[in-house]
Chain A
Amino acid sequence: MNWITIAAATYTREEADVRINAMISRVFHIAQAGIHMLLKRKGAAALLLVAVLLLMYASFVPSSSIAIPDDVKQRYNTIGAEAESSGNSLAPMFESPVVIGFVSLLSLVLLISTVQRTAQLMKARPDRVRGVRLAVDEEDPRIARVLSELRRSRYRWSFSRSAESICVSAEKGSWGGFGSVLFHFGLLTVIAGITYSTLSVENESILLTEGESFRLLQEGGGGGEMRTGGSASSAAMNTPLLRLVDYDSLYAIDDVRTPAAIVETSGDGVVQRAPVHINAGLAFQGRKVHLGPGHGFSPYIHIVDPEGNVLVSAFIRIAALKNGKHRDYLELQNGGIRLFLALHGVGRTETESVPRIELRCEERGRDAWSATLGMGATQQVRDYTVTFPDMREWVQLDIADTTGPGIVAFGALIGLCGLVLRLFLYRKNIRIRWDHGLDGPCIVEGNAEYFTEIFFRELEDFHHVLLTEAAETPAVRTPRKSVHREDPS
């Protein structure tokens, strides 16, 4: 006999099956009740409240600078430089599993509610009111007046007549219910579009020093190859190549000065020089190159070991001191020596523009040593020779490829159309009755899906119009205020 132990109790296989089934059933019912609760408007309000609190918390998260990822540092001779911007510093929070889980739940609820509501609307939507014009005696001035008013207000109407009673029923706005469905569908599409965009599109940030080039390896995708020095004209003319010629912090267009990266692009045998200034990207090889927030100075560092081997010889980006502390270092002798570097004197005014590198050497078992290295000078650090011959500017260029997913724009458009529908269309019914023949009193009544007070004023206007014909018609009774309010969901 097989024995199964559950929750410290021992049951036979059959008993266990019954228990497991009961547990599954309970879990299923709880989940169903949870989803059912969230599908109601109160549940949606609770979800919205969570989203609001989340965003409020996010907006008070202290902003920090963006650290450049390790792989980028490795590729671009960067040992610790940081792109100083708080713009995107909140983004990591929104990539956390909790937030992604919440957005997934929101999407699920939106999806189910959209499907459910569509099904409800299709099922519950009343038959279209058809005008039975043949049965109407439009020759009668009272009925003609009513129908003319209804037509003017774009109501669809039907006409019924019994032995004594005559009734005109009219309705409009039945498509309004689809407005909220369309809106939620649009919202869902936006979330799907953003997810697709995040997952499928590869955007890339590159750090280029003046004179450096970047070669796009894959068209339309990410991944590129860095080239130090060289010019576009010397490169193979059919290879897409982006070269930073100059960075101008006071580039002028129409007398307005703005930072701009002057780049040279080459590909398909054409070499072009163009500025990439803030907020105005440059279309290049099916992608767009934007000027990113990162910018700084890149000193040329040349280090030779005691045997005469060149250890470093490149433009490298290093971070400035922060709170008097070094943030970047090079490791020599397999980590035995740490050579800290900080760049100073790179202001834009003449007095500030005296570039120098502050060196600090730390070695196990020996006291720390520091010195300042001016541009063009050489310094002996232990047995190593450090030279600082040149310096150039570097900028962050963002290569974006977001042209594909127009899904976001489409979803947003659909959502807005849904809101417009919801704003202008909601179901309204009007009934005009003569219970004792056309010579008897006329009763005007109606109800609206919501905004009943405003509708009641419209009904009064309608009644007023009928009253203008009162001279020709029998007494028209004041409309009764209908307080019936359907749940628009």
Chain B
Amino acid sequence: MNALLSFLDLGSAVLYAAVAVLAFFENGVASRKNYLFPVLATVLLFQIVAFGGRWYAAGYIPAVAWQHAILFSTLLTMSFLFFAVVRNTHWRVILPTAALYSSFLCLWAGLSPANLAALPLSLRSGWLYVHASSAALGQAAFLTAASASSMQLLGMGGKRFSAKVSVTEELSIRAMIASVLFWGGMIIAGALWADDAWGRYWGWDPIEIWSLLIWLLAALHLHAYFAWKSLHGAVLASSAIVLMLLARFALWLIALFHQTIHWYGR
């Protein structure tokens, strides 16, 4: 079972790299229908099978270990982009970099697989599903925003995407609003769960502080976009990428270096 799951994760990494290349060099309807669409559908099938397999084997939503959380959020981002490809709306300015990021993330998660241990008693709560799903949706939105911003940065230096720069910026901001929404939902679900589990909404735990910090940074990003036009372009695009990296890795790194009661999945 573990070998199959590793194969699916690493296969997803390879196929996402293929999607990135196809999306970068996509040319017209024929290319989309004949090459890009089938590869994207296959990789999503891989990820869905891996996700379902893990859920079946473990008996709970595979979003507790950081590797599983990464794979889950990647699946969500790419599912969203799959529908964008189907509807043919704005996918060209997000998919190439999103697939590239997803490829790296799947490779990383696939090379250091997490064991499917029994769910600790402390996590056996319905809130896990709300909290973990909101976190994964937030991560997916951050990834979408960073992908659009990466395309924006590419467009600034190159010719191919220069006409679409302003669209990528707006799409990035819309994704950032979605990430503020879902990340906020994650914090709230976590607070309500903490009240249920520990008898308090908020405890200033390092992980709690950093999740709030990321949320505030995303809010700052939005306020900066609407308040300062001079920041439009490279500054905000870079900020979106940094936020994605923070949302991906900050909580994991903090859990490694700080003592925290959120020790699950380390």
Q: Which residues of A contact B (CB under 8 A)?
A: 40-42, 44-45, 48-49, 51-52, 55-56, 58-59, 63, 85-91, 93-94, 194, 197, 203, 253-256, 258, 277-281, 288, 290, 293, 398-400, 402, 408-409, 412-413, 415-416, 419-420, 422-423, 450-454, 457, 487-489
**Contact (Cβ within 8 A) A41 B201:** no
Provide the bound-state CA to CA distance between A288 and B191, in Å: 16
**Contact (Cβ within 8 A) A41 B199:** no
Known A-B contacts A416-B181, A420-B181; the reply to A52 vs B227 at CB < 8 A is no
Expressed in whole angstroms, the minimum distance between the Cβ of A53 and any Cβ of chain B is 10
Partner of B188, one of A48, A93, A412: A412
In the complex, what residues of B have CB within 8 A of residue A49's CB? 220
Q: Which residues of B contact A (CB under 8 A)?
A: 90, 118-125, 166-167, 169-171, 173-174, 177-178, 180-181, 184-185, 188, 191-192, 195-206, 209-210, 212-213, 216-217, 219-220, 223-224, 226-228, 254, 258-261
**Contact (Cβ within 8 A) B203 A87:** yes
- Ranked 9 nearest A-B pairs via Cβ: A400-B199, A279-B122, A41-B227, A86-B259, A279-B197, A90-B204, A45-B223, A412-B188, A48-B220
Partner of A279, one of B121, B178, B209: B121
List 5 A–B pairs whose Cβ atoms lie within 8 Å, in order of A's numbering.
A90-B206, A254-B118, A290-B197, A399-B199, A454-B167
**Contact (Cβ within 8 A) A423 B178:** yes
**Contact (Cβ within 8 A) B122 A402:** no
**Contact (Cβ within 8 A) B260 A52:** no
In the complex, what residues of A have CB within 8 A of residue B171's CB? 454
In the complex, what residues of A have CB within 8 A of residue B121's CB? 253-254, 256, 258, 277-280
Expressed in whole angstroms, the minimum distance between the Cβ of A213 and any Cβ of chain B is 20
**Contact (Cβ within 8 A) A402 B199:** yes
**Contact (Cβ within 8 A) A91 B223:** no
**Contact (Cβ within 8 A) B213 A52:** yes
Partner of B200, one of A90, A400, A451: A400
In the complex, what residues of B have CB within 8 A of residue A452's CB? 170
Known A-B contacts A41-B226, A87-B259, A420-B181; the reply to A408 vs B170 at CB < 8 A is no
Expressed in whole angstroms, the minimum distance between the Cβ of B152 and any Cβ of chain A is 11
In the complex, what residues of A have CB within 8 A of residue B170's CB? 450-454
Provide the bound-state CA to CA distance between A398 and B194, in Å: 13
Provide the bound-state CA to CA distance between A69 and B188, in Å: 30
**Contact (Cβ within 8 A) B205 A256:** no
**Contact (Cβ within 8 A) B174 A451:** yes
> Which residue on chain A has the smallest CB distance to residue B210?
A59
Provide the bound-state CA to CA distance between A457 and B216, in Å: 31
**Contact (Cβ within 8 A) B201 A489:** no
In the complex, what residues of A have CB within 8 A of residue B205's CB? 87-88, 90
Provide the bound-state CA to CA distance between A450 and B174, in Å: 11
**Contact (Cβ within 8 A) A419 B122:** no
**Contact (Cβ within 8 A) A419 B177:** yes
**Contact (Cβ within 8 A) A48 B223:** yes
Provide the bound-state CA to CA distance between A419 and B138, in Å: 14
In the complex, what residues of A have CB within 8 A of residue B216's CB? 48, 51-52, 55
> Which residue on chain A has the smallest CB distance to residue B254?
A59
> Which residue on chain B has the smallest CB distance to residue A409?
B192
Known A-B contacts A45-B224, A398-B198, A453-B166; the reply to A87 vs B260 at CB < 8 A is yes
Partner of B118, one of A56, A63, A255, A420: A255
In the complex, what residues of A have CB within 8 A of residue B209's CB? 55, 58-59, 90
Expressed in whole angstroms, the minimum distance between the Cβ of B117 and any Cβ of chain A is 9
Expressed in whole angstroms, the minimum distance between the Cβ of A403 and any Cβ of chain B is 8
Further pairs besides A256-B118, A408-B201, A453-B166: 9, Cβ < 8 Å? A253-B121, A278-B122, A280-B197, A290-B198, A402-B200, A413-B188, A423-B174, A423-B181, A453-B170
**Contact (Cβ within 8 A) B197 A281:** yes
Expressed in whole angstroms, the minimum distance between the Cβ of B129 and any Cβ of chain A is 15
Provide the bound-state CA to CA distance between A381 and B166, in Å: 82
Expressed in whole angstroms, the minimum distance between the Cβ of B136 and any Cβ of chain A is 17
In the complex, what residues of B have CB within 8 A of residue A254's CB? 118, 121
**Contact (Cβ within 8 A) A42 B228:** yes
**Contact (Cβ within 8 A) B223 A44:** yes
**Contact (Cβ within 8 A) B213 A59:** yes
**Contact (Cβ within 8 A) A402 B213:** no
